[in-house]
Amino acid sequence: MSRWLVTGAGGMLGQDVVTCLERDGETALALTRADLDITDRAAVTAAFLGYRPDIVVNCAAWTAVDEAEAHEDEAFGVNGRGARLVAAACAGSSARLIHISTDYVFAGDARRPYTEHDRCGPRTAYGRTKLAGERAVTELLPGSGYIVRTAWLYGAQGPNFVRTMIGLERTRETVDVVDDQHGQPTWTMDVAGQVIALGRSRAPAGVYHATSSGETTWFGFAREIFRLLGADTGRVRPVSSGAYPRPAPRPANSVLGHGAWASAGIEPIPGWQLRLHQGFPSLTFA
Ligand SMILES: NC(=O)c1ccc[n+]([C@@H]2O[C@H](COP(=O)([O-])OP(=O)(O)OC[C@H]3O[C@@H](n4cnc5c(N)ncnc54)[C@H](OP(=O)(O)O)[C@@H]3O)[C@@H](O)[C@H]2O)c1
């Protein structure tokens, strides 16, 4: 049986990866930021020597997309240098690495879903730092590094769009939501499932896209949440991105293609609506 190590285990995705590993009977060491700072070379080395993992899932990241614009060096410290330290430790110990990345590595202006092999061209500081992490993994672990890009995550464990909409449904008569950004709402438990399937497989190293199938806009996503709450979907009103200027521009197209899973013998995540319906009861936000 493999020994799994999860970094960033206190985050929204990290917690669900650990839950799924434990549910599936795997042996896993869950390290939160307090347990292991991935920017601390000596700490990373000590963690690997002490535990000797077979598979590492790097969920640790600077995820504050807007703040990264003014603090790119700090974001790079975690997403670029930290990822490189984890990849180097894997290379030095023969552990395989599953590194979590993002649609923000793309420019977001394509008129079709991005494939795993499409050119990257990040337009935000966050995207640049995440791409640096990807490149470190590809360089140091050409035969044993997996880059799992995801997007539009929601889960029971962290702040996210579903939680925000549930709160707004309770407190506002109408809610304006952008209708010109396209993506695939994705449940963290589904990403965790793909990660575990990948770790258990003999899949070729490389890039995999762990997002739900299908696509919608934030407006479509919000309407579906209102529908599941039994609320009037007419209370959700479409607006353009211009209504919500942000320091980091949001991609117009975050839709990712899922072709690589076939080479791994793993099914992609099913449609976003089905999974939102199935996951909704477990998203028990206070
Ligand atoms: N959320 C999304 O919609 C989304 C979309 C695309 C890709 N992703 C990717 O998915 C992964 C997981 O994201 P998430 O949504 O679970 O974010 P999250 O909840 O912010 O989790 C990230 C975790 O990393 C920890 N961390 C930060 N700096 C660290 C360091 N130096 N050493 C160790 N741990 C550190 C954070 O701890 P603190 O909270 O204490 O800082 C946090 O627990 C990331 O790679 C992210 O880029 C997320």
pLDDT band of residue 1 (cuts 50, 70, 90) is: confident
- Phi, psi dihedrals of residue 169, rounded to the nearest 5°: -60, -35
Nearest alpha carbon, ligand 1 atom 37: 33
Query: Active-site positions?
Result: 126
Q: Is the pLDDT of residue 284 over 90?
A: no
pLDDT at residue 224, as a whole number = 98
| DSSP alpha helix (H) spans, 98-217 | 125-140, 161-171, 188-200
The per-residue pLDDT for 121 is 98
DSSP string, 57-116: EE------HHHHHH-HHHHHIIIIIIHHHHHHHHHHHT-EEEEEEEGGGS-S--SSPBPT
Residue 253 pLDDT > 70: yes
Q: Tell how far the Cα of 214 is from the centroid of ligand 1, in angstroms.
A: 25
Question: How much is the pLDDT for 60?
Answer: 98
Tell me if 213 sits within 8 A of 272, measured CB to CB: yes
Tell me if 184 sits within 8 A of 212, measured CB to CB: yes
The CA-CA-CA angle for residues 34, 21, 28, to 5°, reads: 50
Residue 6 near ligand 1, beta carbon < 6 Å: no
Q: Among 16, 59, 76, 137, which is best to mutate for testing ligand 1, by the most ligand atoms less than 8 A from CB?
A: 59
Tens-digit pLDDT profile for residues 9-31? 999 999 999 999 999 999 999 99
Closest Cα partner for 106 from 214, 237, 249?
Answer: 249
Does 184 contact ligand 1 (Cβ within 6 A)?
no
| Rounded average pLDDT over 99-109 | 98
Cα 165 from Cα 171, distance rounded (Å): 10
Determine if ligand 1 sits within 6 Å of the CB of residue 183. no
Q: Is the dihedral of CA 285, 150, 228, 243 positive or negative?
A: positive
The atom number, within ligand 1, closest to the CA of 15 reads: 16
State the pLDDT at residue 283: 85
Strand pairing report for 96-102 and 175-178: unpaired
- Regarding the beta carbon of 185 and ligand 1, being less than 6 Å apart is answered no
What's residue 285's pLDDT? 61
Nearest to 190 by CA among 97, 258, 117: 258
Mean pLDDT of 62-89: 98
CA 135 – CA 128 distance, rounded (Å): 11
Q: Smallest Cα–Cα separation from 276: which of 183, 198, 180?
A: 183
Q: What is the pLDDT of residues 39-74, one digit of tens each?
A: 999 999 999 999 999 999 999 999 999 999 999 999
> What is the Å distance from ligand 1's center to 91 Cα?
22
The amino acid sitting at 225 is I
* CB of 60 closer than 8 Å to CB of 87: no
Mean pLDDT of 139-149: 98
User: Would you say the CB of residue 31 lies under 6 angstroms from ligand 1?
Assistant: no
Residue type, 210: A
pLDDT for res 81: 98
The average pLDDT across 229-253 equals 95
Average pLDDT over residues 77-100: 97
Q: CA-based diameter of the chain, in Å?
A: 56
- Whether residue 257 has its Cβ less than 6 Å from ligand 1: no
